[in-house]
Amino acid sequence: MREILQELNQSVGVRGSSVVTRDGIVVASELTAELDEDAVAAMASALVLNTISTLQRVGFGGFTLYTIQASSGKMVVADAEVAFLVVVTDPGVNLDLTMVDISAASYRLKKRGRLGL
Amino acid sequence: MAELRQVLAGEPDNYPARRLLGQVYYLLGYHRQALALLEPYAQYNPWDDRAHEWLSEAHGGPGPSEPLILEQAVARTVRKGEFPVDVGWEPRAAYAERLAERPLSRELVVEVPSRLGLVLAQRAELRAAVWSGPGGTEMLERREGLTEENAVALAEVAATGERACLDMDIGRLERAIVSGPAGTVVVVGFANGTLVALFSEALRSRYADSQVTEALREAGVVAAETSRA
ipTM (interface predicted TM)? 0.89
Distance of CA B82 to the CA centre of its chain: 16
B156 CB neighbours in chain A (<8 A) are 50, 54
Residue B55 has pLDDT above 50, yes or no: yes
Q: What is the pLDDT of residue B73?
A: 55
Query: What residues does each domain of chain B span?
Result: 2-59, 65-101, 106-225
Which of A87-91, B51-55, B154-158 is the least confident region?
B51-55
Q: Given pLDDT bands bounded at 50, 70 and 90, which one contains residue B91? A: very low
- Facing A62 at nearest CB: one of B153, B160, B181: B181
Q: Given pLDDT bands bounded at 50, 70 and 90, which one contains residue B223? A: low
DSSP string computed for B128-172: EEEEEETTEEEEEEE-TT--HHHHHHHHHHHHHHHHHHHHHT--S
- Facing A55 at nearest CB: one of B157, B174, B205: B157
Nearest chain B residue to A89 by CA distance is B170
Helix-helix angle B15-28:B2-10, to 10 degrees:
140
Burial B163-201 (b: 16+ CB within 10 A, else e): ebbbebbbbbbbbbbbbbebbbbbbbbbebbbbbbbbee
B186 touches chain A (CB under 8 A): no
Domain count, chain A: 1
Give yes or no for a contact between B102 and B78, defined as CB atoms under 8 angstroms apart: yes
Distance of CA B41 to the CA centre of its chain: 32
pLDDT tens digit sequence for B100-112: 454 434 466 677 7
- Beta strand pairing status for A73-79 and A65-70? antiparallel
Paired strand residues for B199: B126, B184
Give yes or no for a contact between B190 and B198, defined as CB atoms under 8 angstroms apart: no
pLDDT tens digit sequence for B119-178: 888 888 898 899 988 888 888 888 877 787 887 888 888 888 888 888 777 778 888 999
Task: Measure in Å the smallest separation between the Cα of A110 and chain B Cα atoms.
Answer: 16
Domain that holds residue A90: 2-115
DSSP string computed for B1-36: -HHHHHHHHH-TT-HHHHHHHHHHHHHHT-HHHHHH
Record: contact A57-B149, CB cut-off 8 A:
yes
More confident residue, B216 or B187: B187
Q: What is the pLDDT of residue A58?
A: 79
**What CATH number has the domain bearing residue A92?**
3.30.450.30
A73 CB neighbours in chain B (<8 A) are 168, 170-171
Q: Given pLDDT bands bounded at 50, 70 and 90, which one contains residue B197? A: very high
Q: What is the pLDDT of residue A5?
A: 92
Residue B161: is it exposed, middle or buried by C-beta count within 10 angstroms (0-12/13-18/19+)?
Answer: buried
B144 CB neighbours in chain A (<8 A) are none
Distance in angstroms (rounded) separating the CA atoms of residues A24 and B6:
24
Q: What is the mean pLDDT of residues A23-41?
A: 81
A96 CB neighbours in chain B (<8 A) are 206
- Facing A68 at nearest CB: one of B149, B164, B198: B164
Task: Measure in Å the smallest separation between the Cα of B119 and chain A Cα atoms.
Answer: 22
Q: Which helix (H) or strand (E) holds A85?
A: strand A83-89
pLDDT tens digit sequence for A41-86: 888 888 888 888 888 887 777 788 999 988 888 899 998 888 889 9
CATH 3.40.1800.10 is right for the domain spanning B106-225: no
Give yes or no for a contact between B170 and B148, defined as CB atoms under 8 angstroms apart: no
Give yes or no for a contact between B151 and B128, defined as CB atoms under 8 angstroms apart: yes
The pTM (predicted TM-score) of the whole model is 0.65
Neighbours of B88 (CB within 10 A): 15
Burial B48-72 (b: 16+ CB within 10 A, else e): beebeebbebbeeebbebbebbbeb
Cβ under 8 Å to A: B residues 111-170? 128, 145-146, 149-150, 153-154, 156-157, 160-161, 164-165, 167-170
Q: What is the pLDDT of residue A67?
A: 92
